[in-house]
Amino acid sequence: MTDHPPRQDDAPPRPAAPLRGSRALSTLISGAVLIGMALGFGWLFRAATVPLPVAAVTPVSVAGFPGNGSNPLLVDAAWLAERLTQPDGSENLVVLDLSDPRRYEAEHVPGAIHGWWQDTMSADAHVYGRRIQRPGGPFGYQELFRSLGVDSGSTVVVYDDDANRYAARLVWLLRFSGIERAMVLDGGLAAWKGAGQPVSDNPAQAPDAATVEATPRDEWVITTTELQERTDDPALLLLDTRSPAEATDDLNGTIRVGMIPGAVRIPWNETVRDASGLLRPPDELAARLRAAGVTPEKEVVVYGRFGVESGQPWLVLTLLGYDKVRVYDEGWASWAAIERLPVEPLPAEFTVPPGTPIAHLSFLAAARNDRWAVRTDRLAAG
């Protein structure tokens, strides 16, 4: 019997080639689904990370600060509201909101211009957080002030959503640069709302402003070199203002943990009532400083982790009448990174086992800024 090749009908069927139109349609549908998923996830992420509305707090009087004279450093909601309603605009008033951009989009003081606090820092400094040092150019402070609608004749009121730390820094920078009428809104938007004042979600444009011809007050700043030479000077007092969480932060193992030898510690968060940044009463603040040996006749140098964190303690001291306050603008991060410079251990209350969550330290020290509660950083071993 002769074998015959299988009949064609017995061969396995060849898969039919897909239609080009169907393939294109499938690709379009898949792409649309992916885009929709991406947009959906993006919307969900944005919705989940949008800051909550600012909770109103009851404003308090800013009277009683001996350094808060006719050209105030600190104003309250009533002071600002009165000037915002003046029709002639004779004060050349500029209100700056340094909050999270999304929070600004949702609510701000009517007419407030949004600024970004990191723009106050030098883009080419050897350490993070130093002030802008060059006057001209695209990254100079003259351009920054002009972009915010600020010139030498402006009255500038600043607030933020981080206990007014960065508002105080910008006020310091403005006054350092010769713009005399710069001040912090005590309690920020929270106190503004607590005073029953309206908010807006309409972004404001910065007014035209002339270029500021600034004469920086270099004596307001101390360098690492000078500080190293004067750490044993009895006329100089070092004030370490880092919060407990900040004091134990080794910046991912890049710097040592400790403090500058001889420094007195008063964490900045102990000078405010709550997360709004409302300052504690002047008599309470003055007593706290005196108890730590921080007295007005001394030359007081304040420092935080970074220079940008020094504005708030400068504000407190100046409001209390201290007239020899200087900022260590390079900050602890710079000092601690230079191995040849001495470092003193932190006080006993900061001595904890390696691996302890920094958030726990915040609670142990009764830290009042609720942002710290979500920190999960851990101390490096050793």
Q: What is the pLDDT of residue 125?
A: 55
Which residues form the domain of 329? 219-374
> Which of 35-49, 255-269, 300-314, 328-342 bottoms out in mean pLDDT, i.e. has the lowest?
35-49
Q: What is the dihedral of CA 4, 5, 10, 15, to 10 degrees?
A: 180
Q: What is the pLDDT of residue 364?
A: 32
Phi and psi for 226 in degrees, rounded to 5? -65, -40
Going by the DSSP 8-state scheme, the letter that residue 285 receives in this structure is H
Identify which of 91, 88, 93, 60 has the alpha carbon closest to the alpha carbon of residue 74.
60
Q: Does residue 185 share a domain with residue 114? A: yes
Q: What is the pLDDT of residue 16?
A: 43
Q: What is the pLDDT of residue 216?
A: 83
Q: Does residue 91 share a domain with residue 204? A: yes
Q: Does residue 242 share a domain with residue 145? A: no
Phi and psi for 158 in degrees, rounded to 5? -125, 145
Chosen domain end from 185, 214, 243: 214
Question: What's the pLDDT tens digit per position in 121-172?
Answer: 555 556 654 555 555 554 466 778 888 999 988 999 999 999 999 999 999 9
**Structural tokens at position 16:** 């039919």
Q: Does residue 134 share a domain with residue 241? A: no
In a domain, 104, yes or no: yes
Number of domains in the chain: 2
Phi and psi for 300 in degrees, rounded to 5? -105, 125
Task: Tell me what the mean pLDDT of segment 243-253 comes to.
Answer: 89
Chosen domain end from 159, 187, 214: 214
Q: Does residue 139 share a domain with residue 125? A: yes
Q: Does residue 199 share a domain with residue 104? A: yes
In a domain, 329, yes or no: yes
Q: Does residue 243 share a domain with residue 201? A: no
In a domain, 46, yes or no: no
Q: Is the pLDDT of residue 356 over 80?
A: no
Q: What is the pLDDT of residue 209?
A: 80
Q: Does residue 232 share a domain with residue 158? A: no
Task: Tell me what the mean pLDDT of segment 194-209 comes to.
Answer: 94
Q: Does residue 256 share a domain with residue 151? A: no
In a domain, 347, yes or no: yes
Q: How far is the C-alpha of 120 from the C-alpha of 264, rounded, in Å?
A: 27
Q: Does residue 370 share a domain with residue 256? A: yes
**What order do you get walking across the sheet with 93-97 strand by strand?**
74-75, 182-185, 155-159, 93-97, 113-114
Q: How far is the C-alpha of 30 from the C-alpha of 41, rounded, in Å?
A: 16
In a domain, 312, yes or no: yes
Q: Does residue 183 share a domain with residue 89? A: yes
Label residues 250-287 b or e (16+ Cβ within 10 Å = b).
Answer: ebeeebbbbbbeebebbbbbbbbbebbbbbeebeebbe
Contacts of 345 (CB under 8 A, 6+ apart): 258, 259, 351
In a domain, 256, yes or no: yes
Q: Name the residue with higher pLDDT: 104 or 123.
A: 104
Q: Does residue 191 share a domain with residue 262? A: no
In a domain, 47, yes or no: no
> Which of 34-48, 85-99, 257-271 bottoms out in mean pLDDT, i.e. has the lowest?
34-48
Q: What is the pLDDT of residue 66?
A: 97
Strands 264-265 and 113-114: unpaired
Q: How far is the C-alpha of 288 from the C-alpha of 311, rounded, in Å?
A: 19
Contacts of 154 (CB under 8 A, 6+ apart): 92, 93, 94, 179, 181, 209
Q: What is the pLDDT of residue 127?
A: 62
- CATH at 153: 3.40.250.10
Residue keyed to tokens 């912090």: 184
Arithmetic mean of pLDDT over the chain? 80
Q: How far is the C-alpha of 190 from the C-alpha of 59, rounded, in Å?
A: 8
Identify which of 117, 126, 113, 198 has the alpha carbon closest to the alpha carbon of residue 156.
113
Chosen domain end from 214, 242, 262: 214
E strand or H helix at 184, and its extent?
strand 182-185
> Which of 61-75, 151-165, 359-373 bottoms out in mean pLDDT, i.e. has the lowest?
359-373
Q: Is residue 209 within 8 Å of residue 150, measured between CB atoms?
A: yes
E strand or H helix at 317, and its extent?
helix 311-319
Identify which of 43, 7, 251 has the alpha carbon closest to the alpha carbon of residue 129.
251
Q: Name the residue with higher pLDDT: 86 or 311.
A: 311
Q: How far is the C-alpha of 92 from the C-alpha of 177, rounded, in Å?
A: 18
Q: How far is the C-alpha of 135 from the C-alpha of 369, rounded, in Å?
A: 34
Measure Cα distances from 29 to 26, 144, 351 in Å: 5, 47, 59
Q: Is the pLDDT of residue 374 over 70?
A: no
In a domain, 37, yes or no: no
Question: What's the pLDDT tens digit per position in 300-319?
Answer: 999 999 888 899 999 999 99
Q: Name the residue with higher pLDDT: 106 or 36.
A: 106
